[in-house]
Structure 1
């Protein structure tokens, strides 16, 4: 049998580690999609709820890039902010709309996703064209394991590989929106990070059920819900206090119809909550503070006149994005 690729070994190790996990950690698990923070800062501070402009700088520029940049003069900052505005104005009509502003903030918020996709796209897309085939992905991920090679694996390894390949194929199909069998980089983004794509919501719920729904009835019972988060290391081990809190959470918030189990819709609201859009809220805030004539769109002049709100100046946090020559 050919050697397994390093990627395959790592994938299998991760799969086995997570499938055997015995953990006493609180249940805010990696299953639950949380929007990347817009900022480590609080938007409003103190008893008087004073506005903290540093939050807006981080949200607009991206948390990782919002570094202290004290040497920029107001003139330099306005010039570089203007170039960022040109990029945000994607249709080049001279105005930044709410949707364009929100999209920019989401991009900054999710930059780590785009960087991950770019890295993996280059690793899997061996011929560097604009499509990724299943064979390319399979070869770089699973070493093109044939059925005969799978049979020669130990039974537990064989089942694990088959499960991973079957799951990947199903997710691949759902990500392939044009149904041509291959993935564009946008479709590959949905494949790698399905929690970020609304059309992938159902597949994320299905995968969650596959992992946790022990009795296969299509629902999550309280025992299955808790069992995903906590498995006692020894028989009769006392549950940590947070487990009791999660049992209460199940009844109060997870099982919304009170039938004693979570259906697909309830599972979706647990792992992919839709109640609040941080990027939209920040875009609305910046629009409200900047849109002088209240026409629901921003000119470059309106934004530059409020450059301290977007990026600040000398003794204020700036984004490293303002200094990246390759972005202008």
Structure 2
């Protein structure tokens, strides 16, 4: 028990990779919002646009009065117009939406780069990273390092990190620049790293290590039933999804290629589609671009506002 407490403390300091969660959403190219864009009656849901346009700032804007929402939206518009020509074109709006969706990743890279590289050197060496994150393994009982009570192996995580590090290391010098380190931390965001995401997903779910994923393994990755518990509807839906869409060749298993199609759906760019939608809704003169005035006149489409207590909202002191 003491050993386990020490391990947890050390992991917290070193920001080692956390244990897998019970229920995982492994799809990488997700919708821009957890909201439905249109309901079954094809009625438009503006909250989808708010979350797509603002990312994790949407909740903050929801608490602001209209005047403050418009003021902050004006500041955002100035940021989006990166060529400073006074209008927002499709490419600028698309790139902004992509930025808001990936902002948390960029912030995470900055935080971990600083944490693992306090002297702000140009590179982080593998041996330095390994010592900081996994150095505690040297003083552990080999049995504890190999597997804990829940079947989680720190040695396996070290091996996985080593492989991922080598793939991220483009020049093969066993040290990562900040750009390479970003690929190591978030391989789903780097084209040349995406195959390792598929490989790691296969390793996580393929419990019998036969190189393919059965229906039982697929469901088991997301849901573990309790004794005499009735299976939830969403689990039944996932069984149907597996049969209809995941298992393309209908052989009862998901291959590596089928897993890739599942977690990295091809041929649809959510940011591109959302940019076109917002321009269509707000472009009153039909010139396929937006002026600042057009955006501010449609502030409820872009950011909205639900606050009624102006004093409380303004007291938050949330500033850009």
Band of TM-score, shorter chain:
0.7 to 0.9
RMSD over aligned CA atoms reads 4.1
Q: 1:135 to 1:65 in 2, by over 3 A?
A: farther
1:301 CA drift (Å): 4.4
Which residue of the other structure, out of 131, 141, 157, is the alignment partner of 2:133? 141
- 1:220-299 to structure 2, matched below 5 A, reads 220-229=213-222, 240=231, 246-274=238-266, 276-299=268-291
Which residue of the other structure, out of 182, 207, 213, is the alignment partner of 2:175? 182
1:205 CA drift (Å): 0.8
Q: Does the 8 Å contact 2:63/2:305 carry over to 1?
A: no
Which residue of the other structure, out of 64, 89, 98, is the alignment partner of 1:97? 89
Which residue of the other structure, out of 45, 69, 72, is the alignment partner of 2:64? 69
- Structure 1 gap ranges (5+): none
Q: Does the 8 Å contact 1:124/1:132 carry over to 2?
A: yes
CA distance in 2, matches of 1:194, 1:106: 17
Q: Does the 8 Å contact 1:54/1:317 carry over to 2?
A: no
SS at match of 1:81: helix
Which residue of the other structure, out of 6, 13, 16, is the alignment partner of 2:9? 6
Q: 1:317 to 1:218 in 2, by over 3 A?
A: farther
Q: Does the 8 Å contact 2:126/2:175 carry over to 1?
A: yes
1:167 CA drift (Å): 0.7
TM-score by length of 2: 0.73
- 1:8-157 to structure 2, matched below 5 A, reads 8=11, 14-15=18-19, 18=20, 29-33=24-28, 35=30, 38=33, 40=35, 43-44=37-38, 47=41, 49-62=42-55, 63-70=58-65, 73=67, 78-143=70-135, 149=138, 153-155=141-143, 157=145
CA distance in 2, matches of 1:230, 1:46: 28
1:116 CA drift (Å): 2.9
Which residue of the other structure, out of 171, 177, 194, is the alignment partner of 2:164? 171
Moved more, 200-209 or 87-96: 87-96
